[in-house]
Amino acid sequence: MVGKCILQLILVCLLSVGGCGPQAPQYVDPLADLSGARGDNVPTDVPVKAGASVALTLGSNVERFLKYHDDGRVYAASVGASKDLLEQGNPQYLVDGGVAILKRRYPKIKSFDDLASAARERVATTFVLDIRTKAGMYPGDETTVDLTIIAFDAHQKPISKITARGATQIKPYATPRIRDAHDQALAELTKKADRLLH
C-alpha cells in the first residue's frame, strides 16, 4: 500500500504543473507554429470531404509534450518509478492512436513536418493533430486528455476542428489510470471521424 502511494506521488510530480519533476509544457494554440490562423477560430465539427491527396502534420503542443515526457522519464526513473507506471501517461500512445484514426480513413495519407511543406506539394487536404493533457494532483482530481484534429483545404485555409476528450479521476491509494483517459479520448475521436471525415 505504501509503495503504491509513493509511485502515485512520483507520477503526480512527473505529470503535474509545478511538480517536482520537469516543468510541464505551457500549451499554446495548436496552430501557433504552423499557420497565421488560430485554432480557436476554426468552426467545430464541420464535415470534411478530403481531396485527392491527404497530408498530416502534428500541432504545436505535441513536440513540447513528447519532450516533457522524455525528460520526465529520466527524472522518474531516477527516483524509482516503474516502467509500467510511466507508460500510463506516455503521450506517444495518443499520437499513434490519433494518426491511426486518420490512416484508417485515408490509407494514403502522407506525413509532413509542417503545413508549408504540404502546401509546396500542393496537397488537397491537410490535417493537424494536436494533444493537450492536464494531470490531476490529488485524490478526487481529474486527469484530462484533449485531442484535436484541424482540417485545412488546398489553399491552407482551416475548414473544420474536431475535438475529443477523455477524463479519469485519481483514486486514493491506487495507481492513477491515465491510460483510461487516453482511451476515452481516442474512442470519441474515432466516432467523430467516422461521422465527419469523408
Residue 25 lies in a domain: no
Helix (H, G, I), strand (E, B) or coil at 140: coil
**What pLDDT score was predicted for residue 2?**
37
What confidence score (pLDDT) does residue 85 get? 63
71 in a structural domain? no
pLDDT at 6: 41
Distance, in Å, from the CA atom of 122 to the CA atom of 53, rounded to the nearest integer, reads 8
What is the per-residue pLDDT for 17? 38
Within a domain: residue 12?
no
**Residue 3: per-residue pLDDT:** 43
Please tell me the total count of domains within the chain: 1
Instruction: Answer whether residue 67 is part of any domain.
Output: no
Which residues span the domain enclosing 182?
30-60+90-196
CATH number of the domain encompassing residue 170: 3.40.50
86: cell is 510511466
pTM higher than 0.85, yes or no? Answer: no
Block means of pLDDT (10 residues each) for the chain, length 198 residues? Answer: 44 48 79 92 97 95 78 65 68 93 97 94 97 85 94 96 95 84 97 97
pLDDT the model gives residue 122: 95
Task: Report the pLDDT value the prediction gives residue 20, as an integer from 0 to 100.
Answer: 58
Does residue 52 sit within a domain? yes
Please count the other Cβ atoms lying within 10 Å of the Cβ belonging to residue 84. Answer: 9
Q: Measuring CA to CA, which residue among 87, 56, 49, 70 is closest to residue 196?
A: 49
8-28 in b/e form (b: 16+ CB < 10 A) is bebbbbbbbeebebbebbebe
Note the pLDDT of residue 55. 97
pLDDT at residue 4, rounded to an integer: 45
Segment (H or E) for 160: strand 158-169
Distance between CA atoms of residues 16 and 7, nearest Å: 14
Give a yes or no: residue 74 inside a domain: no
DSSP characters for 28-61? --TTTTT-SS-GGGSPBS--B---SSEEEEE-HH
The answer as to whether 4 is a domain residue is no
Q: Specify if 134 maps to a domain.
A: yes
**Distance between CA atoms of residues 77 and 81, nearest Å:** 5
Which parts of 18-157 are beta strand (E)?
A: 54-58, 110-111, 125-134, 142-152
